[in-house]
Chains A and B, each alone.
Chain A
Amino acid sequence: MLFNTRHFGEIEINEDKIISFEEGIPGFNNVRKFVILDTYTTNDNRYDNMNNQNNSVSPFKWLQCVDEPMLAFAIVNPFLLKPDYDIELSNEVIEQLGIKNEEDVAVYAIVVVPEDISKMTMNLKAPLIINLKSKKGMQTILDTEKYSVRHYIMDEKAGQEVKANACADKKKGSVNCNR
């Protein structure tokens, strides 16, 4: 199906790629359907749904809303930037998303990009949990004081470069690199 996106104009997306957030996302409770759009390090602002092998997948992706074309969140696999990130999913989350296998789960942190890009933050307190099998997702709030809604990516990034590169080059980065 063809639909409009905030960053790439009109693109073709398979309907089986649509992830439903049945509770919406805090602050945007009336939107339900999203797709994850990969971005490529060599392509600026052009969506490449041919998965061109010459382009390596960026660790940053867009969570694009299907219901509301102008709504898109920059997201990142938090484990790439903070390898010791440690989360425990509550039974409620596991049940609600119908999670059967750990391998089916993708975790993303929503990124805030301010004017000064070096002050970019990610929200580790409330990660997005997505069951890739059931195509259900939610933003869960972790019951821990360890993480905040604003982790400076530049700080987390220091000293992690080797791992980030290794993972960014893998094709299915998000899941493979979680551990």
Chain B
Amino acid sequence: MLVLTRKKDQSIVIGDNIEISILEIVGDQVRIGIDAPKNVAIHRKEIYLEIQEENRKAAESNTISQAALNEILKGKNKDS
């Protein structure tokens, strides 16, 4: 991994069209600004991993029958 040291208001340029700026440093938090083309997806890593994980779990939801799903909704309707 390339490691660079930057100060507040300094930035890093990646390729022709991505710029990452250090906007603010407060305690152990760093605010980062990112300028990138719209087709470049940018995510907070832990959230992206969480969504990947949920999607994988969702793809395994196969044993369930449609009738059971619908029963849940119906049952709840009656209860509430």
Asked whether, in the complex, the Cβ of A58 is within 8 Å of the Cβ of B55, the reply is no
Interface of B is mostly: helix
Asked whether, in the complex, the Cβ of B72 is within 8 Å of the Cβ of A153, the reply is yes
Q: Which of B54, B56, B67, B72 has the most CB of A within 10 A?
A: B54
Asked whether, in the complex, the Cβ of B55 is within 8 Å of the Cβ of A41, the reply is no
Residues of B within 8 A of A141 (CB): 43, 47-48, 51
Q: Is A18 positioned at the interface, with any CB of B under 8 Å from its CB?
A: no
Q: How far is the CA of A45 from the CA of B57 in the complex (A)?
A: 20
Residues of A within 8 A of B39 (CB): 96
Pick from B38, B58, B80: contact of A74, CB under 8 Å: B58
Q: Which of B43-78 contact A (CB under 8 A)?
A: 43, 47-48, 50-59, 61-62, 64-70, 72-73, 76-77
Asked whether, in the complex, the Cβ of B51 is within 8 Å of the Cβ of A113, the reply is no
Asked whether, in the complex, the Cβ of B55 is within 8 Å of the Cβ of A161, the reply is no
Q: Is A71 positioned at the interface, with any CB of B under 8 Å from its CB?
A: yes
Distance between B1 CB and nearest chain A CB, rounded to angstroms = 22
User: Can you list the 6 inter-chain pairs with the closest CB atoms, starting with the nearest?
Assistant: A113-B61, A27-B52, A161-B77, A27-B55, A44-B67, A113-B64
Chain A interface residues toward B at CB < 8 A = 6-7, 23, 25-28, 39-41, 43-45, 58-60, 71-74, 91-92, 95-96, 110-114, 117-118, 120, 123, 125-126, 139, 141, 149-150, 153-154, 157-161, 164-165, 168
Q: What are 13 A-B contacts defined by CB distance under 8 Å?
A: A45-B66, A72-B62, A92-B38, A96-B38, A112-B57, A117-B68, A117-B69, A139-B55, A149-B51, A153-B72, A154-B76, A158-B80, A164-B77
